[in-house]
Amino acid sequence: MTSTPETILTIANLCVSVRGEEGSREVVSNLSLTLKRGETLCIAGESGSGKSMTALAIMQLLPQPAARISAGTIHLGATELTALDERRMRHIRGDRIAMIFQEPMTSLNPVLSIGRQLTESIEAHTSLSPAEARQRAIEALKAVRISEAESRLRQFPHELSGGMRQRVMIAMALALEPDVLIADEPTTALDVTVQGEVLELLRDLQQKHGTSVILITHDMGVVAEMADRVIIMRHGRMVEEGKTSDIFARPQAEYTRELLAAVPRIGSGAGRQKSREAEAATPAKVAEVTDLHVRFDLRGGVFGRVTRRVHAVEGVSFSIAPNETLALVGESGCGKSTTAKALAGLVPYSGDIVVGGRNLSGLGRDERKAVRRDVQMIFQDPYASLDPRMRVGDLVAEPLLIHGIASKEERRERVAALFDRVGLSSDQMELYPHEFSGGQRQRVCIARALALRPKLIIADESVSALDVSVQARVLDLLKELQREFGVAYLFISHDMAVVENISDRVAVMYLGQIVEMGTRDQVFSNPRHPYTRRLIEAVPVPDPARRPSRFARLDQEIPSATRRIGEAPLKLALSDVGNGHLVAAEG
C-alpha cells in the first residue's frame, strides 16, 4: 500500500442543515476530516448520523430543496468546493470525485443502456471519440469483472441482477480514475458472495490507481477488512477517529466500544445463545409449509399463452414452531423473498401453507384478515415498503387502526412505545419516510410489524441496513419479544453472522429448493452441502488482523430459474444425516 502523506480532500467544520416544516436542524455538525491519497477512509456509525449527508455535501448534491451546507469548507486539493458554481462543480464530479450511491436499484437510469450510461460520463470529461469511449467502457466493465462486457453494453439495468448493477455503478465511478471515490454502503443490498466480490474489486482498483476511497458502511466486518482509517459518527458529529487497528483494538469513545461490542461475529460466542433443541415434537406449529411451489408465468404468443415459467420456489417444505427462529439463507434470486411472500399471502402458490392451524387457501375474508394479524412481514427494502406520502407515526399506527385495536390516544401511546423500542424518538412520528436515513426507515418497518404482536414475523433482510448497534438492539428486541410472547420468526438474511446469532434452525436455499436444513449448530459447525460452505466462507470478519487474502468467489453465473413449459427442474431429495440435519445430494 502506497503511503504518500499528501492530502487530497479536507473537510473543515462542515455543517449541513435540513429545513423541515417548522424550522431547520443540523444533521451534520462541525465535521472535519482529511483524506490522503490512496487511503481508504471508512465512515461508520449509527444510522441517521449524517454519513450519507456528508457524502452528498462533498458532491454538492444534497437533496433539494430541503438540505444545504450551513457552514464549513470542503477543499479538494486547493479548490474550495462549496464556493463553486454548478458549472464548475460539474467538471469536478465524475472526473475528480466519483460516488456510488446507497441505493443501486434506483441509481441507474432505467431507460438508458448500460453502455450509454458508461460512455456518457467518459465523453463528458475526456475528448475521446465515441469508439474510444466505448473501448474504455468495456475495459471498465471488465475491470469490475462483468462477464461478456461487450454485449452487456447493450443491456438495460433491469436486465441485470442487483449485484451486477452495483458493479456497473462502480465501473461508472472508476472509469475516469477519479482522485476520490465515495462509496455509500456499496454492499448493503448485496448478498455475501457478491459483497465479497465487490469489496475485493474496490481494493484491487484502489491499489492499481491509487484512488482515495471514502467508504461508508455500518458493517464492522467490512470496515475491518477495508479501512486504513476509521471515523465513527453519531448524531451528526464525529465521535472518534483513528487507524483501523487502533480503533478495533483500543476504542477510545464510549460509543465506539458499544458499537464494537455489538458486532455479531461468526463462530464467536458473543451474544450467541445456547442452541435450543428443535422442538420437532411440538404438535402445534405456528406455520407449516409443505411442498410449496411458486411459479411466475411468462406469457407470449398470439393468445398470450404461457410459454415459460420462473420456478422461483420448487417444493419447499419446512415448519416453524412457536418461539422458534428459522433462518432462510441463500444467494440473491434463490427464492427467499418469494417464499416469504407466499407465506404472507402476497403471491399465488401451490402446496399447503398452514398458519395457526388454518390452511391459507380457501379462507373467507374475515378469517384471512385474522390470519394477517398473526403473520407480519418486514420487507427487504424499507423505503419501498413505506408509503412515502404518510407520516411514519400513522404508518405504524395503521395496523392497529385496521384491526380496530385501541382508542386514538392509546394508539398514539403504543406507537410511541414502539418507536422507543426500536430506537427512534417519538418526535419522529411526525416525519415522512424520506426524511429518514436508510437505517431509520428499517426501524420504522420493524415497529410496524411489531404493532400487532403477531405469532409469526417474517423478516426479509430486515436488519442488513442497520448499523451494528441498532442491529444488535433490534435483534435483542426480537429475542425479547420471542421470550415474552412466543413469537416465531422466519428470518431471511445474507449475513451469516447475524443468522448464526439469532436462529434456532437454518435452511439454505439454492435455485428455489432447500439444499440443507438443520439446527444452527448442525449447519454452522458441520456444513455438509458445498454451497453452504461457500456461503459461510464469504462472510467478512470484523477483525483487521485477520484479513483474508482473497474472498471466495463464485465464478460462474447464477443458473437461471426460468424454464420452458414442461421442463420442470430436477427435484432434489433431502436425506437426513443425523438428528434432523437434512442435506440434498450434490448435483
Partner 1 sequence: MIAYLGRRLIQSLLILLGVSLITFALLYLLPADPVRQIAGRSATPQTVENIRQQLGLDQPFVVQYWHYLTKLVSGDLGRSYIQRSEVTELIVSRLPASLLLMVGAILCELLIGLSMGLIAAVKRGTATDQTLMVASFIGVSAPQFVVGLLLLYVFAVRLSWFPIGGYGTWRHLVLPSLTMGILGAGWYARMMRSSMIDVLRQDYVRTARAKGLARGAIIFRHALPNAILPVVAMIGIDIGIFMGGIVVVESVFGWPGIGQLAWQAIQRVDIPIIMGVTLVSAFAIVLGNLLADIIAPFIDPRIKLR
Partner 2 sequence: MTSPIAPDLMAGRMPAKPRAGVWRRLVKRRLALLGLVTVAIVVAGAILAPWLTGYDPNEQMFDGLTIEGSPLPPSAKFWLGTDLLGRDLLTRILYGARTSLIIGIVANGVALLIGTLVGVTAGYFRGWIGGALMRFTDLMMAFPALLLAICLAAVFQPSLWIVAMVIALVNWVQTARVVYTETSSLAEREFIDAERTIGAGAPRILFRHILPHLLPTIIVWGTLGISTTVLLEATLSFLGIGVQPPTASWGNIIFENQTYFQAAPWLVFFPGAAILALALAFNLIGDALRDILDPTQRGRA
Which residues of this chain interact with partner 2, rule CB under 8 A?
Answer: 18-23, 25-27, 29, 46, 48-49, 65-66, 234-237, 258, 261-262, 341, 344-346, 369, 372-373, 375-377, 379, 381, 384-391, 398-399, 402-403, 419-420, 423-425, 427-428, 430-432, 434-435, 445, 448, 451-452, 469-470, 472-473, 476-477, 480
By a kind-dependent CB cut-off of 5 to 8 A, residue 388 interacts, out of Mg ion, partner 2, partner 1, none, with partner 2
Please report which residue ranges of 86-191 form alpha helices under DSSP H. Answer: 86-92, 104-107, 114-125, 130-143, 149-152, 162-174
The Cα-based distances of 520 to 283, 497, 503, 553 in angstroms read 21, 11, 6, 24
By a kind-dependent CB cut-off of 5 to 8 A, residue 436 interacts, out of partner 2, Mg ion, ligand ATP, none, with ligand ATP
Question: Please, what's the b/e burial string for 334-350 (b: 16 or more CB within 10 A of its CB; e: otherwise)?
Answer: bbbbbbbbbbbbebebe
Q: Which is nearer to partner 2, 502 or 535 (CB)?
A: 502
* Position 577, amino acid: V
456 within 8 A of 500, measured Cβ to Cβ: no
Residues 6+ away with beta carbon under 8 Å from 427: none
Q: Which is nearer to partner 2, 103 or 398 (CB)?
A: 398
Secondary structure (3-state) at 307: strand
488: cell is 416465531
Binding of ligand ATP by 310 (CB under 6 A): yes
Rounded to whole angstroms, how far apart are CA atoms 232 and 48? 12
Q: Which is nearer to partner 1, 99 or 223 (CB)?
A: 99
Q: Which is nearer to ligand ATP, 43 or 141 (CB)?
A: 43
By a kind-dependent CB cut-off of 5 to 8 A, residue 158 interacts, out of partner 1, Mg ion, partner 2, none, with partner 1
264 within 8 A of 285, measured Cβ to Cβ: no
The site for partner 1 (CB under 8 A) is made up of 59, 61, 86, 89-95, 98-99, 101, 103, 106-113, 116, 120-121, 124-125, 156, 158-159, 169, 172, 299-304
Segment interacting with ligand ATP (CB under 6 A) among 62-70, 103-111, 285-293, 536-544: 62-70
**Closest to 375 measured CA to CA, from 350, 353, 401:** 353
Burial of residue 436 (number of CB atoms within 10 Å: 0-12, 13-18, 19+): buried
Residues of this chain, 1-40, that bind ligand ATP according to CB under 6 A: 18, 27
CB of 94 to partner 1, least distance (A): 3
By a kind-dependent CB cut-off of 5 to 8 A, residue 423 interacts, out of partner 1, Mg ion, partner 2, none, with partner 2
Rounded to whole angstroms, how far apart are CA atoms 479 and 324? 10
Site string for ligand ATP, 229-268 (x = CB under 6 A): ----------------------------------------
Rg for the chain, CA atoms, rounded:
24
Binding of ligand ATP by 104 (CB under 6 A): no
Secondary structure (3-state) at 317: strand
Write out the residues near ligand ATP by the rule CB under 6 A: 18, 27, 47-53, 63, 66-67, 162, 191, 218, 296, 310, 312, 330, 332-338, 380, 434-440, 467, 561
